[in-house]
A = this chain, B = another copy of it.
Amino acid sequence: MHELQHIRKYPDAKLINLGIGDTTKPIPEIISVSMAEYARALSTVEGYRGYGAEQGNKALRKAIAETFYKNVQVKDSEVFVSDGSQCDIARLQLLLGSNVTVAVQDPSFPAYIDTSVIMGQAGDFEEKSGKFGNIEYMKCGPQNNFFPELAKTRRTDIIFFCSPNNPTGYAATRQQLEELVKFAKANGSIIIFDSAYAVYVTDDSPRSIFEIPGAKEVAIEVSSFSKFAGFTGVRLGWTVVPEELCFSNGFPVINDFNRIVCTCFNGASNIAQAGGLACLSSEGFMAVCSVVDYYRENAKILLKTLKSLGLKVYGGENAPYVWAQFPGSKSWDVFDDILEKAHVITVPGSGFGPGGEEFMRISAFGHRETILEASKRLKGLFS
């Protein structure tokens, strides 16, 4: 709405969108060619394929296990191919039902709370606090190194945890994740770990929760080709449910998840799966990583620009998001200010929960010249 009003007010301004968490760079040729060839072959007797396995094709499950989980020994059979992590979050909620309690990082990607509300796990929305009842908001900000104070955190059945985090761009350290796993184990909680941005990690922060000893007994990992390979529109992701993970009655969660997948899902598009397999070939992986490097460089530019202006900025090193703090300001006011004066769209942090107030999420998913132009404008605005 703001955006449309702005366009009407300034029809000649070149609006730059650093708001949406959507990829913008073309997919490497080796991958699009694989998908195109797979699609073309569907017109041949040899290449036609009907229903595939609901859990995904075997070669892709194997490639995911080998590419992302080689050192933590995830089995092919523990990998479920999906049409994106958001869709699998909803299917996990369907598995969990309405009688579970849920904790989320605050701020966090809205899908966790939104699906929780739909399932009937949450209480009413409280205007004053900006929170839903019955949901534990684990505040994460600079004051606590973007990691919740677990000693003060209420026990819940489920803990959604996203690292590298959307929106803060922060990747939890090994020690922090060890604490999280310990906390979940002590409480009999299940962690749903969202690693959709894992490939953006540049330091030695864990790229998977399963790098933490004992995590297989307490965690599920959802992940995605979206931000890794520009598949936001192609739709492909995966979920790992370890065999070791059991409900309190000893029943393996993987059996229930398999049932959900077979009943409520019919597998990701076989063309998208062919693309996923190409992404994980050695040549494809290199090509995809060079696009990730490009976004990383964008993030670096934004981070450097905002730091040079004396702003308090976080994230950006292990994620394609920069998280800028404007102490004492309302994030919607900052949004309006940046839009009005620099013609740049950002995302007000409060959209990710009350813990995001005062902050702005600035996305590095743009073309280089756009990022450079936005940086110039932000310099003009804030210096």
Contact = CB atoms under 8 A, between A and B. Distances in A.
Interface of A: 20, 22-29, 31-33, 35-37, 39-45, 47-52, 83-84, 86-87, 90, 94, 97-98, 111, 114-115, 118-120, 230, 232-235, 259-260, 263-272, 275
Given A111-B263, A260-B118, A269-B235, A29 B50 contact: no
Nearest to A259: B118
Contacts of A259: 118
- Among A20, A115, A118, find the residue whose CB has the most chain B CB atoms closer than 10 A: A118
Contacts of A232: 50-51, 266
B264 A118 contact: yes
B39 A35 contact: yes
Given A26-B42, A43-B28, A49-B233, A83 B269 contact: yes
Contact of A36 (B20, B36, B44, B267): B36
A234 B24 contact: no
Number of copies: 2
Contact of A26 (B47, B118, B235, B270): B47
B48 A234 contact: no
A263 B27 contact: no
A40 B357 CA distance: 42
Given A232-B51, A233-B270, A263 B43 contact: no
Contacts of A233: 42, 49-52, 267, 269-270
Contacts of A120: 97
Contacts of A264: 86-87, 90, 115, 118
A29 B266 CA distance: 24
Nearest to A57: B233
In this complex, the member of A36, A37, A267 whose beta carbon has the largest number of chain B beta carbons within 10 angstroms is A36
Contacts of A265: 86-87, 90
Contacts of A23: 50
Q: Which of A22, A36, A120, A269 has the most CB of B within 10 A?
A: A269
A218 to B, nearest CB: 24
Nearest to A49: B233
B90 A94 contact: yes
Contacts of A47: 26
A28 B43 CA distance: 6
A48 to B, nearest CB: 4
A23 B48 CA distance: 9
A32 B274 CA distance: 14
Nearest to A97: B120
A354 to B, nearest CB: 20
19 contacts: A24-B48, A24-B50, A26-B43, A32-B39, A32-B40, A32-B42, A35-B42, A36-B36, A42-B233, A48-B230, A52-B233, A83-B83, A84-B266, A86-B266, A87-B264, A97-B98, A114-B263, A118-B264, A233-B267
